[in-house]
Structure 1
Amino acid sequence: MNRFLLNISYIGTNFRTNIVSGIQKTFNKADEARVDTKTIQGCIELGLRALHPINEIQTVLSSRTDAGVHALHSTLHVDLQRRNSEPFDPTTITCVLNSLLHKNGLPIRVLSTQQVPENFHCRYNALGRTYLYRFAVAKGSNRCANPLKNHNFYAFLPVEEIDRCFFLQNSNFDIERLRSGTRMFLGLHNFRTFMNVSRQHSPTRDHPRYTLRVIDEINVKPGKSVAIGANAEKSESLYHYWDIEFKAKSFLYKQVRRMVGALLALATGRIDERSIYEMLTIPSKNSWDNRVLLSPPYGLYLCRVHYNEKDLELPKNTNKNELSTAASEQTLGS
């Protein structure tokens, strides 16, 4: 049995990526040709069946993203065993999966595949994760008393940005106040207030230490439109684009989206700094300020899962020449 780490990216708009409940997928012969398009994990596992391993395919995900959240780089690991006991060629795994995903019109791509030690775990070995939230604020939001008449926000929205960026308008939006507010989240805090309520009731999650998290960095930077051609020029003239980058070892369910919601509420004057302070210092679902709106998932991107490169290295006694020779001689499904 050999373990492989898959580096993947995807657009999460049409996927329900909530796999926290550990859904077990079973297929009969009539289902073998059917592609499960409900979850990204299901699509990957069905694609791996094309390699015809002799073991049951069970992937393990490093990060659990909400429905609609995108990933520029996420990871999963899987154990695969060939009939001849030789390891699969990682490049073959990448190419087979991408071919099938493309053929079925699925917005998932395998960036790379590598063989890793058998005791490597893509989730527990992760040193940290980086998330990015994209949003855009309409320029000149205070030019018109009636926001439904002759307003940039309603006049133009680049089609390339639909479900890729959160657009908003507010004449009081203050990016410097948002930037200042990010400092309140840095360091060690109990983020129970910022965890989705439905995830707060379990023996593990009820433990006081479960909701402790350390936020290493929060960076606010000017962003740019992903539109092209004439749309790009018009987008830049009508909107200010911003990126908020969060770095931490791990995050609670919907924590990033709730933090973004609080920061946007602060920047638009719906709440003040004291409200954020109380949500952080009085960790409870009852401390959530209802003036804060949960930011939509389509503006959020998982940018990177960080690992120590040494954890990815195969044992020194592995004969790399033999592995290379075996990989070059293998045939698909042999």
Structure 2
Amino acid sequence: MHRYLLNISYIGTAFRGIQKTVNKLQQPHLDTNTVQGSLELALRVFHPTNEIITVLSNAGVHALHSTVHVDLQRPNGEPYDTTTLTGVLNRTLGKQRLPIRVLSSQLVADTFHCRYHATGRTYLYRFAVAKEPPSGNDNLRNKGFETFMPVEEIDRCYFLQAPRFDIDRVKAAAQMFIGVHDFRTFMSVSRQKGPSRDHPMFTVRKIDEVNIQPGKTLALAANATLAAETYDYWDVKIKAKSFVYKQVRRIVGALIAFGSGRIDDRCLYQMLTIPSKNSWDHRVLLAPACGLYLCRVHYRGEDN
């Protein structure tokens, strides 16, 4: 038996979810509406003698780089060639028209765990702010329906109308989140349950970096020119060892609300320093999932 680390990327909006669903009342089957289930289906082409069970390092809407480990027992006992493993998996996923790609594969120690051995994760959140409020029907203007949006960016970026959006205020406020904090206010209720979630220290996390930089449109040809004329794109990168449920989307939502003038410094400070679900200001909107990407999973010994 050999253990392999798969470095993968995917666009998650094509799937119902990332992790497969297991129904103990039914016969086991592959949940191919999920990233995990689709990978396990692709791995079947190697005909290992053991049951294929993948372990994910993270869940997220999109991933530029995520990791999975899996144990495979070849009939002759020899390890699979990792270059062949990568190529065959990509060919199989491509034939199924699944938006998952294996970036690379490598043999790792039997004790390696892609989630527990990770030293950090970097998330990217993409949003775009309209440069000028559109004219016309007030009801449409408030919702932004008449503003150009490149079709290539659907479910890839959060587009918003925010007159007088102040990115400099956002950049300054983002530094408040760096360091060790209790992020209870910034945790959404999760369907996952466990005794550790009730521990008073469960929501304490350390944010290593928060960087906000100008972004770029993913649009093509004439759409790219029009998108750049219509919107200011921004990339928010947040790095930490681990995050609580929906923490990144809540942080980004709070920063956007602050930059839009919906909340002030005092409100942001209270949400961060008085950790409680009751401290969440309901003028802050949870940033939509479409703009969130797992950018990198970090491991010791890498050049990150």
Question: TM > 0.5 between the two?
Answer: yes
State the match for 1:289 in structure 2.
281
State the match for 1:195 in structure 2.
187
State the match for 2:164 in structure 1.
172
1:48 equivalenced with 2:48 (yes/no): no
Amino acid across the alignment from 1:6? L
Alignment partner for residue 235 of structure 1, among 217, 227, 230? 227
CA–CA distance in 2 between the matches of 1:153 and 1:166?
Answer: 14
- The 8 Å contact of residues 129 and 306 in structure 1, kept in 2 or not, is answered as yes
Could you state the TM-score of these two structures normalised by the residue count of structure 2? Answer: 0.92
State the match for 1:103 in structure 2.
95
Alignment partner for residue 124 of structure 2, among 128, 132, 143? 132
- The 8 Å contact of residues 199 and 253 in structure 1, kept in 2 or not, is answered as no
CA–CA distance in 2 between the matches of 1:291 and 1:231?
Answer: 33
Could you state the TM-score of these two structures normalised by the residue count of structure 1? Answer: 0.84
Q: Measure how far apart 1:93 and its partner are.
A: 1.4
Amino acid across the alignment from 2:158? F
State the match for 1:223 in structure 2.
215
- The 8 Å contact of residues 214 and 249 in structure 1, kept in 2 or not, is answered as yes
CA–CA distance in 2 between the matches of 1:157 and 1:48?
Answer: 38
Deviations 1:237-281 (A, max 9, x none): 111111111011111111000101100111111111211211121
Amino acid across the alignment from 1:3? R
1:62 equivalenced with 2:57 (yes/no): yes
CA–CA distance in 1 between the matches of 2:225 and 2:269?
Answer: 40
SS in 2 for 1:154: coil
Structure 1: tracts of 5 or more residues without a match: 311-334
1:146 equivalenced with 2:138 (yes/no): yes
CA RMSD of aligned residues (A): 2.4
SS in 1 for 2:195: coil
Q: Measure how far apart 1:111 and its partner are.
A: 0.6
1:256 equivalenced with 2:251 (yes/no): no
State the match for 2:14 in structure 1.
14
State the match for 2:258 in structure 1.
266
- The 8 Å contact of residues 59 and 77 in structure 1, kept in 2 or not, is answered as yes
Larger Rg, first or second structure (1 or 2): 1
- In terms of mean alpha carbon deviation, does 183-192 or 36-45 score higher? 36-45
SS in 1 for 2:8: strand
- In terms of mean alpha carbon deviation, does 123-132 or 136-145 score higher? 136-145
SS in 2 for 1:127: strand
% identity of equivalent residues: 61
Distance 1:124 1:95, change over 3 A: same
CA–CA distance in 2 between the matches of 1:226 and 1:18?
Answer: 23
- The 8 Å contact of residues 2 and 71 in structure 2, kept in 1 or not, is answered as yes
Q: Measure how far apart 1:153 and its partner are.
A: 6.2
1:305 equivalenced with 2:297 (yes/no): yes
- The 8 Å contact of residues 152 and 238 in structure 1, kept in 2 or not, is answered as no
SS in 1 for 2:223: helix
CA–CA distance in 2 between the matches of 1:27 and 1:199?
Answer: 23
SS in 2 for 1:48: helix
1:38 equivalenced with 2:33 (yes/no): yes
Distance 1:77 1:198, change over 3 A: closer
- The 8 Å contact of residues 31 and 38 in structure 2, kept in 1 or not, is answered as yes
CA–CA distance in 2 between the matches of 1:128 and 1:201?
Answer: 23
Structure 2: tracts of 5 or more residues without a match: none
